[in-house]
Amino acid sequence: MMCTFMCATSGLYGLLLYLVTCPATHVASLALPKNPLHTQVKVLFDSTNHWHRSIQYHPEQSERITACVTALQDYNAKALPNESGLHLDLIDYACEQPAAGTKNSEGTTHIPLSDDELAYARSILVKSHSEDYVSGFETRCRTSRKKRIDDGKSPLGFIGYVDDDTFLTTETYDVCLRATAAWIRGVDLVRTDPLATAMALTRPPGHHATKTLSNGFCIFNFAAAAAIHAVDLGLKVSILDWDVHYGQGVSNILQHVPQTRYVSMHQAPAFPYQGEKNEISGACGNILTIPLPPDSSWTNGYQAFFEKQVLPFVYSSGDDELDAPLWEPDIVIVCAGYDALLSDELASCSLTAADYGKMTQLLRDKIGHGRSPGGLAKPPSLLFGLEGGYQLKKDTQGGNLADAVVETVKALGFRSLV
C-alpha cells in the first residue's frame, strides 16, 4: 500500500458492564449513564501510540488517532445527550499516566491496561498467529530497546522496515500488544449490555496480518484476536470489514473457525490483490468477499451490495426476504477502515463521511442493536475497531478520517431513518 501511495431505543443497562475485566478501583469511573435509553459508547485509545512511528513521512501516523480523539472531544463538548442519545466516554488505556495538559488529555479518563490484560492479550495473539511469530517481534523490539539503553541512548528508536510498507520501532511490539488488549477489552465491555458499544481507536491497522506474515502496515491481527477471544467465551462472531482494502489476514486466520463469519467489501484491483471474486469461500464457508470497482460510491455500488449481501451474511434470522440461512451472532465486530473516502489518497473509491453513518445505522437496524430485547434473545453486541483511513486534511471533499469516525459514533445515538 505504501508503494501505491508513493506512486499514485428502550431497556435497562446490564449491571455487569465491564466488571469482568476492569479492576474494582475503576468501576466508579465507568458508571452507567443516568438515562437508560441512551447508547453508551466507550472509545478506547492509547496516548502513547506515537511510540510506533517512522522516521520519514508515512501515511500510517500517530496523528490519525490524535485527529479522531480531538474530533470526538469537540463533538462530546457540543452534543447534548438528550438530543444525541449518546453518552460518549473517551478512555485512554496507555500504561503510563499522561501528563496534565497534553494533547487529548482533557475530557478523557485514564484506565490503564493491567498486566493480566496484557498477558492474556499475548496468549490470544499466540492463538491467532503462533508463538514463534509473536516472540519474534517481541524479541526484536525489546532487544533493540535494551541495546539502546545499554548504549546510553533513549529507549525509543527506529529499527527499520520489515517490508516495503511496514516499519518497526523499539516500542512497536508493546504498542501492538496494548492495541490487541484494547480490542479484547472492547469485546468484554459490550457483551453484557445490548445498548453499549465500544470503539477501539488503535494503530497500526491489523487486518492484513496473516497467521505468519506482517504486511500492509499491519503487525498483529487485532480483529482476529478479538474474535478468537469471543469464541473462547462461547460466542458466535460476525466481522464486517468496510476498509477499502481486503483484510486477507482476517480470512486467513478465521477460515477454519466455524463460529465466525467474515465479510469484506473492498476495492479491486487494489492491495493486497486478493479477494477479487464475489464469492463465499473458506473451509467453513464463512468468508464472503465483495470486490468493488474503483470510483464506487454509496449510490453506485456500495449501498446495493451492503444491503443485499453484506447485512444478510452478517446476521440472518432465517426468515429474511433474501432467504439467507440462519446466522445469529452474539457479537458483530466492524473492521472500521475509512480509506474508501473520496479524499483518501490510498485508494480510488468515493464514499463520504456521512456514508459511514448510513452503514452504521443500517447495521444497527439489521441486528436490532439499541433496541430492548423485550424478552427475546439479546441482540448482538457491537464493537468497532479502527483499521485504515489516512486523510487528515480539513475541509476535504466528502470529509476526512476524523469526520467519518464522528459520523459513525453519531449514528449510534437515537435511532433515525437513514
* pLDDT tens-place string over residues 309-367: 999 999 998 765 556 789 999 999 999 999 999 999 999 999 999 999 999 999 999 99
**pLDDT higher than threshold 90 for residue 4:** no
Question: Which is higher by pLDDT, 24 or 58?
Answer: 58
Q: Which pLDDT value is given to residue 325?
A: 82
Model confidence at 129, pLDDT cuts 50, 70, 90, reads: very high
Is 384 in a helix, a strand, or coil? Answer: strand
**pLDDT higher than threshold 90 for residue 85:** no
Model confidence at 80, pLDDT cuts 50, 70, 90, reads: confident
Question: Which is higher by pLDDT, 311 or 418?
Answer: 311
Helix (H) or strand (E) holding 336: strand 331-336
pLDDT-above-90 percentage for the chain? 77
**How far is residue 277's CA from residue 288's CA, in Å, rounded to a whole number?**
9
| Per-residue pLDDT reduced to its tens digit, 249-273 | 999 999 999 999 999 999 999 999 9
C-beta separation of 196 from 182 below 8 A: no
pLDDT-above-70 percentage for the chain? 84
**pLDDT higher than threshold 60 for residue 416:** no
Check 207, 208, 266, 369 and give the catalytic one: 208
Q: How much is the average pLDDT of 60-81?
A: 93
Q: How much is the average pLDDT of 283-299?
A: 97
**How far is residue 44's CA from residue 410's CA, in Å, rounded to a whole number?**
16
Q: Which pLDDT value is given to residue 382?
A: 97
Q: How much is the average pLDDT of 3-16?
A: 37
- Which class for 44: exposed (0-12), middle (13-18), buried (19 or more C-beta within 10 A)? buried
Q: Which pLDDT value is given to residue 102?
A: 60
The single-letter code of the amino acid at 370 is G
Model confidence at 408, pLDDT cuts 50, 70, 90, reads: very high
**pLDDT higher than threshold 80 for residue 29:** no
**How far is residue 56's CA from residue 161's CA, in Å, rounded to a whole number?**
11
* Contacting residues for 341 by C-beta, under 8 A, at least 6 apart: 349, 351, 352, 353, 389, 391, 398, 399, 400, 401, 404
Return the minimum-mean-pLDDT range out of 54-68, 199-213, 220-234, 305-319. Answer: 305-319
Question: Which is higher by pLDDT, 321 or 276?
Answer: 276
Model confidence at 413, pLDDT cuts 50, 70, 90, reads: confident
pTM: 0.89
Q: Which pLDDT value is given to residue 350?
A: 98
**How far is residue 247's CA from residue 261's CA, in Å, rounded to a whole number?**
13
**pLDDT higher than threshold 50 for residue 24:** no
26 is catalytic: no
Q: How much is the average pLDDT of 301-311?
A: 98
Model confidence at 106, pLDDT cuts 50, 70, 90, reads: confident
Grid cell, residue 200, equals 477501539
Model confidence at 37, pLDDT cuts 50, 70, 90, reads: low
Neighbours of 179 (CB within 10 A): 30
Q: Which pLDDT value is given to residue 364?
A: 95
Q: Which pLDDT value is given to residue 395?
A: 94
**pLDDT higher than threshold 70 for residue 203:** yes
- Which class for 101: exposed (0-12), middle (13-18), buried (19 or more C-beta within 10 A)? exposed
Question: Mean pLDDT for the chain?
Answer: 88
C-beta separation of 348 from 189 below 8 A: no
Q: How much is the average pLDDT of 57-66?
A: 98
Is 346 in a helix, a strand, or coil? Answer: coil
* Contacting residues for 115 by C-beta, under 8 A, at least 6 apart: none
Q: Which pLDDT value is given to residue 319?
A: 65
Q: Which pLDDT value is given to residue 372?
A: 52
Single out the residue of 261, 211, 212, 213 nearest to residue 241, CA to CA: 261
